[in-house]
Amino acid sequence: MTAATTLHSRHLLGIADLEPPEIELVLETALAMKEIGTRPIKKVPTLRGRTIINLFFEPSTRTRMSFELAEKRLSADTLGMTTSGSSAAKGETLADTARTLEAMAPDMIVMRHGASGAPHQLARICRASIINAGDGMHEHPTQALLDALTMLERKRRLAGLQVAIIGDLVHSRVLRSNVLLLTRMGAKVRACGPATLVPPGLDRLGVQVTTSIDAALDGADVVMMLRVQHERMSGLFLPSVREYFTFFGLTPARLERAAPDVIVMHPGPMNRGVEIDSAVADGPWSVILDQVANGVAVRMAVLYLLAGGEAEA
């Protein structure tokens, strides 16, 4: 497969919009961007004079900081808005916020929002390039891209990899973006979680769905643990945290069923003792901190590629 030389859209709203050659292009560019982080001066002048607004309507530490670092490494001018103290807290609609920002003529807007599809609405109103940094229970494309980069670095391929994604499936935009990306790139995905946390129709995305963690782990090359998202659970999804850990927590003993060179990933923040045992999180299998480092490189790649504008048809 030959990598594309450009992205066809000027927004990154979801993995659903990306063709496999475009995914390859982002990953290749990210590998080149990674080198910048190893230099004495970790900064290139590429986006000098570009304005990027980081709009976070949901709490976020690592994604927001990762985007900010990526923007600064490319020399963009950045400004941030978080919900507390913003006009959103005073009752302004998203559309009005978007029009207000539009009047400030930013070049790009990075947005996280609790409502699925919010970045798509922003993209219809604003001339700026919109990057989805997580929308509700829909997509989190840069997370899936950084996960893919981490797998690619460790396993040298994506096609044919057996990837087990385990945990709170229904609330997870990380799951959705990862499933879309991995199936597109030829990996085999098994998803596992308690029956109350499995979204209906998941199997139609080409995913093998199971409620047995042992079945999911069997021979897996990559294990991706998802956080139990207490904040999104309005109903009674789980009897207790302890029961969850008993049936779905990742322990060193359970991990023995996986491939001998298995890697363990987690998008963070981790709930130690809920979905993942500390011995696994800090163990030799863990590539969780690689994911964080790769996040900056992937976001630099996306910012760079989107800054060029649309390809001529």
Partner 1 sequence: MAIVMDADRMSRTLARIAHEILERHRGLDGLALIGIRARGVPIAARLAGQLRALTGTDVPTGTLDITLYRDDLMRHAVGPQPVIRRTEINFSIDDRLILLVDDVLYTGRTIRAALDALIDFGRPRAIQLVVLVDRGHRELPIRADYVGRNIPTSRQQSVQVRLTEIDGRDEVEVEG
How far apart (Å, rounded) are the C-alpha atoms in residues 284 and 307?
Answer: 38
Choices 47-55, 144-152, 196-204, 245-253 (CB under 8 A): range interacting with partner 1: 47-55
The first and second tokens of residue 69, run together, are: 């670092």
H helix intervals, 51-156? 62-73, 94-103, 118-125, 141-155
With CB under 8 A as the contact rule, the residue among 18, 47, 130, 238 that binds partner 1 is 47
With CB under 8 A as the contact rule, the residue among 13, 23, 24, 29 that binds partner 1 is 29
Answer whether 162's CB lies under 8 Å from 219's CB.
yes
Choices 28-36, 167-175, 200-208, 268-276 (CB under 8 A): range interacting with partner 1: 28-36
Q: Does 127 bind partner 1 (CB under 8 A)?
A: no
Q: Does 45 bind partner 1 (CB under 8 A)?
A: yes
How far apart (Å, rounded) are the C-alpha atoms in residues 170 and 257?
Answer: 25
With CB under 8 A as the contact rule, the residue among 9, 21, 28, 86 that binds partner 1 is 28
With CB under 8 A as the contact rule, the residue among 21, 37, 46, 188 that binds partner 1 is 46
Closest CB 18 distance from partner 1, rounded Å:
15
With CB under 8 A as the contact rule, the residue among 9, 17, 44, 153 that binds partner 1 is 44
Closest CB 11 distance from partner 1, rounded Å:
15
Number of residues that bind partner 1 (CB under 8 A): 32
Closest CB 311 distance from partner 1, rounded Å:
5
Q: Does 305 bind partner 1 (CB under 8 A)?
A: yes
Choices 53-61, 78-86, 88-96, 303-311 (CB under 8 A): range interacting with partner 1: 303-311
Lay out the sheet containing 77-82: strands in order across.
77-82, 51-56, 108-113, 129-135
**193: Cβ–Cβ under 8 A, 6 or more apart, which residues?**
166, 167, 168, 169, 170, 211, 226, 248
With CB under 8 A as the contact rule, the residue among 1, 39, 239, 269 that binds partner 1 is 39
Taking residue 131's Cβ as centre, other Cβ atoms within 10 Å add up to 24
How far apart (Å, rounded) are the C-alpha atoms in residues 204 and 38?
Answer: 42
Q: Does 307 bind partner 1 (CB under 8 A)?
A: yes
Number of residues assigned to the chain: 313
**143: Cβ–Cβ under 8 A, 6 or more apart, which residues?**
63, 134, 173, 174, 177, 178, 267, 295
Taking residue 290's Cβ as centre, other Cβ atoms within 10 Å add up to 16
Closest CB 45 distance from partner 1, rounded Å:
6
Q: Does 1 bind partner 1 (CB under 8 A)?
A: no
Q: Does 310 bind partner 1 (CB under 8 A)?
A: yes
Closest CB 131 distance from partner 1, rounded Å:
15
Nearer to partner 1 by Cβ, of 40 and 260: the residue is 40
**27: Cβ–Cβ under 8 A, 6 or more apart, which residues?**
145, 148, 149, 152, 298, 301
